[in-house]
Amino acid sequence: MALGIIWFSAGPQDPIFGINHANIAPELTPKNWRSSAIVRNGLYIWVARGIRSKDGKDIARYCVQVRSGHENSRIEKEFAKRDPALAYANALGSNEGEYPAERSPVTYMTMRPGFGRGPVTTEIPLGKEVKG
Protein backbone atom coordinates (compact mmCIF):
# COMPACT_ATOMS: atom_id res chain seq x y z
CA MET A 1 0.00 0.00 0.00
CA ALA A 2 1.59 3.28 -1.13
CA LEU A 3 1.46 6.19 1.26
CA GLY A 4 1.95 8.89 -1.37
CA ILE A 5 4.46 11.69 -1.67
CA ILE A 6 6.81 12.48 1.18
CA TRP A 7 7.68 16.10 2.03
CA PHE A 8 11.06 16.99 3.57
CA SER A 9 12.54 19.95 5.35
CA ALA A 10 16.19 20.14 4.30
CA GLY A 11 18.79 20.67 7.02
CA PRO A 12 22.21 22.31 6.67
CA GLN A 13 23.81 18.93 5.89
CA ASP A 14 21.59 18.42 2.84
CA PRO A 15 23.72 18.62 -0.35
CA ILE A 16 21.18 21.06 -1.79
CA PHE A 17 22.96 23.66 0.39
CA GLY A 18 26.39 22.48 -0.68
CA ILE A 19 28.74 20.05 1.04
CA ASN A 20 30.81 21.37 3.91
CA HIS A 21 33.16 19.05 5.79
CA ALA A 22 32.27 20.91 9.02
CA ASN A 23 28.84 19.22 8.79
CA ILE A 24 30.35 15.71 8.72
CA ALA A 25 30.40 13.84 12.04
CA PRO A 26 31.91 10.44 12.95
CA GLU A 27 28.39 9.11 13.60
CA LEU A 28 24.79 10.29 13.63
CA THR A 29 23.26 10.68 17.10
CA PRO A 30 19.93 11.90 18.49
CA LYS A 31 21.67 15.24 19.19
CA ASN A 32 23.38 15.89 15.82
CA TRP A 33 21.30 14.20 13.09
CA ARG A 34 19.38 17.38 12.11
CA SER A 35 22.60 19.20 11.19
CA SER A 36 25.18 16.50 10.47
CA ALA A 37 25.97 13.91 7.84
CA ILE A 38 28.38 10.99 7.92
CA VAL A 39 30.64 9.40 5.33
CA ARG A 40 30.67 5.61 5.00
CA ASN A 41 32.76 3.90 2.33
CA GLY A 42 33.04 7.29 0.58
CA LEU A 43 29.25 7.83 0.48
CA TYR A 44 27.73 11.00 1.94
CA ILE A 45 24.83 9.90 4.19
CA TRP A 46 22.27 11.84 6.21
CA VAL A 47 18.83 11.34 7.74
CA ALA A 48 15.94 13.61 6.85
CA ARG A 49 12.58 13.77 8.57
CA GLY A 50 9.69 13.77 6.16
CA ILE A 51 5.91 13.83 6.36
CA ARG A 52 3.48 11.64 4.42
CA SER A 53 -0.22 12.30 4.38
CA LYS A 54 -2.62 9.39 4.52
CA ASP A 55 -6.36 9.72 5.02
CA GLY A 56 -5.91 13.34 6.09
CA LYS A 57 -3.38 12.36 8.74
CA ASP A 58 0.31 13.35 8.74
CA ILE A 59 2.74 10.49 9.31
CA ALA A 60 6.37 11.24 10.23
CA ARG A 61 9.01 9.22 8.38
CA TYR A 62 12.81 9.19 8.77
CA CYS A 63 14.65 8.60 5.53
CA VAL A 64 18.29 7.59 5.23
CA GLN A 65 19.57 9.41 2.16
CA VAL A 66 22.77 8.70 0.27
CA ARG A 67 24.77 10.72 -2.22
CA SER A 68 27.72 9.44 -4.20
CA GLY A 69 29.84 11.97 -6.05
CA HIS A 70 27.73 14.27 -8.23
CA GLU A 71 24.79 11.89 -8.65
CA ASN A 72 21.41 12.88 -7.26
CA SER A 73 20.72 11.67 -3.75
CA ARG A 74 18.47 8.72 -3.25
CA ILE A 75 16.46 7.40 -0.34
CA GLU A 76 18.23 4.28 0.83
CA LYS A 77 15.63 3.22 3.39
CA GLU A 78 12.63 4.71 5.20
CA PHE A 79 11.78 4.25 8.89
CA ALA A 80 8.85 5.09 11.17
CA LYS A 81 11.19 5.93 14.09
CA ARG A 82 14.32 8.09 14.24
CA ASP A 83 16.68 5.81 16.21
CA PRO A 84 16.46 2.80 13.86
CA ALA A 85 17.17 5.19 10.94
CA LEU A 86 20.27 6.53 12.71
CA ALA A 87 21.49 3.00 13.52
CA TYR A 88 20.97 1.89 9.90
CA ALA A 89 22.84 4.93 8.53
CA ASN A 90 25.76 4.46 10.93
CA ALA A 91 26.06 0.77 9.96
CA LEU A 92 26.17 1.33 6.19
CA GLY A 93 29.92 0.83 6.12
CA SER A 94 32.88 -0.04 8.28
CA ASN A 95 35.10 2.88 7.29
CA GLU A 96 34.64 6.48 6.26
CA GLY A 97 36.62 6.41 3.05
CA GLU A 98 37.25 9.52 1.01
CA TYR A 99 35.14 12.58 1.82
CA PRO A 100 33.20 14.17 -1.05
CA ALA A 101 34.62 17.42 -2.36
CA GLU A 102 33.40 20.52 -0.56
CA ARG A 103 31.23 22.73 -2.72
CA SER A 104 28.90 25.69 -2.51
CA PRO A 105 25.24 25.38 -3.43
CA VAL A 106 24.50 25.79 -7.13
CA THR A 107 21.41 26.97 -8.98
CA TYR A 108 20.73 26.19 -12.62
CA MET A 109 18.88 28.66 -14.82
CA THR A 110 17.43 27.62 -18.19
CA MET A 111 16.51 30.22 -20.79
CA ARG A 112 15.01 30.01 -24.25
CA PRO A 113 16.94 32.56 -26.30
CA GLY A 114 14.49 32.80 -29.16
CA PHE A 115 12.20 31.04 -31.57
CA GLY A 116 13.85 28.07 -33.22
CA ARG A 117 16.66 27.83 -30.69
CA GLY A 118 16.91 25.23 -27.98
CA PRO A 119 17.13 26.05 -24.29
CA VAL A 120 20.42 27.20 -22.77
CA THR A 121 21.21 26.15 -19.19
CA THR A 122 23.67 28.12 -17.06
CA GLU A 123 25.10 27.18 -13.67
CA ILE A 124 24.95 29.98 -11.10
CA PRO A 125 26.99 29.46 -7.88
CA LEU A 126 25.32 30.80 -4.76
CA GLY A 127 27.65 32.50 -2.28
CA LYS A 128 31.40 32.23 -2.42
CA GLU A 129 33.13 29.01 -3.35
CA VAL A 130 34.40 26.75 -0.59
CA LYS A 131 38.16 26.30 -0.83
CA GLY A 132 39.72 22.98 0.09
Instruction: Compute the Cα dihedral for 93, 95, 99, 105 and give only its sign.
Output: positive
pLDDT at 52: 83
For 65-97, the pLDDT digits (tens) are 998 765 666 778 899 999 999 999 999 988 888
Full-model pTM: 0.73
Give the percent of the chain with pLDDT over 90.
Answer: 34
pLDDT-derived band at 121, boundaries 50, 70, 90: confident
